[in-house]
Structure 1
Amino acid sequence: MEPKVDFIIAGAQKAGTTALFDYLGEHPQIGLSDVKEVHFFDDETRDWAAPDYGAYHARFGLADRSRRWGEATPIYLYWKNSIERIAAYNPAIRLIVLLRDPVARAFSHWKMEFARGAETNPFAWCIRQGRQRLFEAEPWGFHREFSYVERGFYGEQIEHLLNLFPADQLLLLRAEDLEATPGPVLERVSAFLGVDAPPPVQARRVHVGQDIAYPSPLTPADEALLRCLYAADMARLKALTGISYAPE
């Protein structure tokens, strides 16, 4: 049987996935895709009724079975049907998900899109009227750039994932922990992937937002709105995982 990819860092965007990918690249028993974000399972141009995995496998050195092979495409957790496609590809795959306070994640996401020119509107508008743009997107209700609020509904996304995979194939991590104390987090990842303890690492931050003049800050009113929007989902996340970003 043709070897398959062993693990995927499936989300969330702006939650430390690039830093984790960078750290794992230093582990001698872990092999990574030739680009960080392969964007295979969110590719709507493919024939998902009869998918051809050849192009996907070409991104890896799967013939080397001395390593665990993986990639990191953080849109998978959010994007419609990606998790189903991963389950069909390899039901035994291991999934790593990094979470970050959803309010901070949303603002960081907006800053990224604004800095690269995809977004021209202020944050306050984007998380209110701007959410209507998702209903003009394809697939309906999903948007790669403007999903600032929607990507933060972690409870819903994790519940969906756990309906398709057993809990022991999912490792949930907090971006805040990876940034503050990467060593213990990487030890957990290594154990989860069945490889030796990682070599010592130096803490780092990767893909920090550009230092430019943004047209709006994260205001108390914006934060209060988002906390309210996320309240029910945060309760769901806590019930499922014990993790919560709800205010004390």
Structure 2
Amino acid sequence: MAHDVMRQASTSATSEGRWPDFLVVGAGRAGTTSLHQYLARHPDVYLPKAKAPSYWYAAARPATAQLPAGFVRSEHTYKSLFGGCRADQRCGEVSPVYLAATDVPARVMAQCPDMRIILILRHPVDRVYARWVARRRDGLEPTPTFEALLDQEWAHPLERDDAHATYMASGIVTPTLREWFALVPEERRLVLWFEDFARDTAGSMRTVCRFLGVRDDIDLGTARRHNASGGRIRHPWVRGIWAASFPLRRAVRPLVPVSWRDAAFRLATRRVDALPLAADTRARLTARYAKEIRALAELTGRDLTAWLGPTPAQSPTGLP
């Protein structure tokens, strides 16, 4: 039956490319890189080598908009990413920005009404903090403390139609999630939760495989985590070189194989020290996101009472 589903879903392929069958639409810093890597190991699934082409977001932005180098604006280029997909495979891609802009769902579903979507949702405080930790580690964020960052953004509105490249506003996902839920039938959407994904990654991936209609007994290497925030690189010398090397890493990114980039990241972050979020900062930010947490609980039917408490959601270290 799984292969019948794949054959029916893969009829739009051409020699010049095709539209994908599914999208992982976010959320950022909720395990999407690990999900990308696991799916890429499945013989019945085809993913572009690079995560986050972000076409459905980028194509609608002005030509003058400054976007990350990996974002794809051209329909031809985007469809060519899936040109290698066999007729018996499901193809898709992972772009967390699709949960950051309210105009994306309508654009996707107008072109691909049978699209399947997968989401991983996580406590907004943990996602926003993980984003700062990762960007600070990688030399992308000059603000020296998370508290100073919050002070800079506190007066800005949280709810925006486009929260790409923000911190606090990126913690708000329900406006875009409502659009996805309104346009995608329940049987074609899968909602995962970061806590569950971290606690039972293999079981979560079996659920994903069944949702996509592919075999669920494949070893996807789920014991390994990818792109983990981790904390601060322990050795000052390594920490300084890694952060300062960002301009060079960005320049050579198109020329270096993904496997080499991943190897360099693993080497640089082999030893890190945890950076726990201060309890008073967590309480302050949780109170700011209380309305969002309640709205998310109502929309998804998940009991998120624990998210309103003073302690973080428990999850093993290692996932982003």
Q: How does 1:1-248 map to 2 (within 5 A)?
A: 2-3=12-13, 4-43=19-58, 44-45=61-62, 53-61=75-83, 64-121=86-143, 122-131=145-154, 142-145=162-165, 147-200=166-219, 201-209=221-229, 211-212=232-233, 218-243=277-302, 244=304, 246-247=307-308
Verify the 8 A CA contact 1:9 1:95 in the aligned structure 2.
yes
Instruction: For residues 86-136 of structure 1, give each alpha carbon's deviation from its aligned partner in whole angstroms, at most 9, with x where no partner exists.
Output: 12221110111111221111110011222233322221132233255789x
Q: What letter matches 1:228 in structure 2?
A: A
Q: What letter matches 1:223 in structure 2?
A: R
**Cα RMSD after superposing both structures:** 2.6
* Structure with the larger helix share: 2
Gap change, CA 1:22 and 1:142, over 3 Å in 2: same
Gap change, CA 1:239 and 1:85, over 3 Å in 2: same
Q: What letter matches 1:33 in structure 2?
A: P
Verify the 8 A CA contact 2:34 2:226 in the aligned structure 1.
yes
State percent identity of aligned pairs: 28
Verify the 8 A CA contact 1:181 1:203 in the aligned structure 2.
no
Question: Whole-Å Cα distance in 2 between the matches of residues 230 and 5 of structure 1?
Answer: 34
Deviates more, 1:121-130 or 1:64-73: 121-130
Gap change, CA 1:8 and 1:115, over 3 Å in 2: same
Question: Whole-Å Cα distance in 2 between the matches of residues 225 and 151 of structure 1?
Answer: 17
Structure (1 or 2) with the larger CA radius of gyration: 2
Deviates more, 1:60-69 or 1:216-225: 216-225
Question: Whole-Å Cα distance in 1 between the matches of residues 84 and 115 of structure 2?
Answer: 14
**1:177 Cα deviation from its structure 2 partner:** 1.9
* Unaligned runs of at least 5 residues, structure 1: none
Verify the 8 A CA contact 1:10 1:72 in the aligned structure 2.
yes
Instruction: For residues 215-242 of structure 1, give each alpha carbon's deviation from its aligned partner in whole angstroms, at most 9, with x where no partner exists.
Output: x862222211221121122111111212
Q: What letter matches 2:187 in structure 1?
A: D
Name the counterpart of 2:261.
none
Instruction: For residues 146-184 of structure 1, give each alpha carbon's deviation from its aligned partner in whole angstroms, at most 9, with x where no partner exists.
Output: x22222223333222212222222111112222221121
* Unaligned runs of at least 5 residues, structure 2: 1-10, 14-18, 64-72, 235-272, 310-320
Question: Whole-Å Cα distance in 1 between the matches of residues 204 and 192 of structure 2?
Answer: 8
Verify the 8 A CA contact 1:76 1:83 in the aligned structure 2.
yes
- The count of corresponding residues between Structure 1 and Structure 2 is 238
Instruction: For residues 45-71 of structure 1, give each alpha carbon's deviation from its aligned partner in whole angstroms, at most 9, with x where no partner exists.
Output: 47xxxx962211111136522100000
**1:24 Cα deviation from its structure 2 partner:** 0.8
Gap change, CA 1:62 and 1:91, over 3 Å in 2: farther
Deviates more, 1:115-124 or 1:23-32: 115-124
Q: What letter matches 1:127 in structure 2?
A: L
Verify the 8 A CA contact 2:44 2:90 in the aligned structure 1.
yes
Verify the 8 A CA contact 2:46 2:85 in the aligned structure 1.
no
Runs (4+) off by over 4 Å: 131-135
3-state SS, counterpart of residue 71 of structure 1: strand
